[in-house]
């Protein structure tokens, strides 16, 4: 029985953005793996504008991620004094993608990350998220209607609840399962070789 991975993430989590290529390398090398995406909710339902101190903290944080991952970061969002850092809409967009066409959930996550971090697009805006969905092959109006529905809001909250119930509080977090047991692979950014080593250890443990 192959291992299944459960990936707890938030599209607007900078370390998840940095971690994406490492996870992709693992998946490319381990085609037997199946990955389930669970939205964690980094800063959901926030309604306050970013303070100058918070923007400065994020600049430093994003610089660390860029150094570790080699990925580009736009400063456009941090240059906006009116920006409200609410990650729930982006999470809801991934949940909607997962509901409408599960195979596109991971590409949608990556597209939102690139739009927000690399391109400086406002991925808290439902209209922008619908544009990104259209770029991923969804019908824009159908996607937007689904994303704004009460059922998708509840499904997104259910992801947050599931994450919290397992004690997951940091992102990215990856857990592996074989049957009912969950095994922590990583809580935080690691490289693909570390992921592979830990998976081998879990496989050895679960096959004993």
- pLDDT of 14 strictly over 70: yes
Instruction: Give the closest residue to 112 by CA, choosing from 160, 164, 57, 42.
Output: 42
With the CA atoms of 156, 165, 34 and 192 taken in that order, what torsion angle do they form, in degrees rounded to the nearest 10?
A: 100
Is 204 exposed, middle or buried (CB count within 10 Å of its CB: 0-12, 13-18, 19+)? exposed
Q: Which pTM was predicted? A: 0.95
Q: Compute the distance between CA of residue 116 and CA of residue 74 in angstroms, rounded to an integer.
A: 8
CA distances from 189 to 27, 29, 184 (A): 16, 19, 13
- pLDDT of 23 strictly over 80: yes
Q: What percent of the chain has pLDDT over 70?
A: 99
Q: Compute the distance between CA of residue 121 and CA of residue 112 in angstroms, rounded to an integer.
A: 9
Q: Compute the distance between CA of residue 124 and CA of residue 116 in angstroms, rounded to an integer.
A: 9
Position 77 scores a pLDDT of 96
- In whole numbers, what is the pLDDT of the chain averaged over residues? 95
- Terminal-residue alpha carbon distance, the chain: 13
Are the C-beta atoms of 179 and 10 separated by less than 8 Å? no
pLDDT tens digits for range 69-114: 999 999 999 999 999 999 999 999 999 999 999 999 999 999 999 9
pLDDT band of 68, cuts 50, 70, 90:
very high
CA distances from 86 to 45, 71, 123, 145 (A): 6, 23, 9, 20
- pLDDT of 1 strictly over 80: no
pLDDT tens digits for range 146-203: 999 999 999 999 999 999 999 999 999 999 988 788 999 999 999 999 999 999 999 8
Position 178 scores a pLDDT of 82
With the CA atoms of 84, 158, 206 and 196 taken in that order, what torsion angle do they form, in degrees rounded to the nearest 10?
A: -20
pLDDT band of 31, cuts 50, 70, 90:
confident
Q: Compute the distance between CA of residue 22 and CA of residue 194 in angstroms, rounded to an integer.
A: 10
């Amino acid at each position: 029985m192959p291992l299944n991975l459960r990936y707890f993430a938030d599209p607007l989590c900078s370390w998840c953005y940095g971690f994406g290529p490492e996870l992709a390398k693992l998946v490319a090398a381990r085609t037997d793996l199946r990955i389930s995406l669970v939205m964690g909710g980094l800063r959901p339902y926030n309604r306050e504008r970013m303070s100058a101190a918070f923007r400065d903290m994020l600049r430093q944080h994003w610089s660390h991620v860029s150094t570790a991952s080699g990925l580009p970061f736009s400063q456009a969002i941090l240059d906006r004094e009116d920006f409200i850092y609410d990650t729930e809409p982006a999470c809801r967009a991934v949940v909607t993608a997962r509901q409408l066409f599960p195979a596109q959930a991971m590409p949608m996550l990556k597209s939102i990350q690139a739009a927000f971090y690399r391109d400086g697009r406002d991925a808290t805006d439902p209209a922008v998220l619908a544009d990104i969905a259209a770029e991923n092959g969804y019908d824009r109006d159908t996607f937007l209607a689904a994303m704004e529905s009460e059922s998708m809001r509840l499904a997104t909250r259910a992801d947050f609840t599931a994450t919290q119930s397992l004690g997951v509080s940091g992102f990215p977090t990856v857990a592996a399962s074989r049957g009912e047991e969950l095994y922590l692979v990583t809580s935080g950014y690691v490289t693909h070789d570390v992921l592979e080593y830990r998976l081998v250890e879990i496989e050895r443990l679960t096959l004993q």
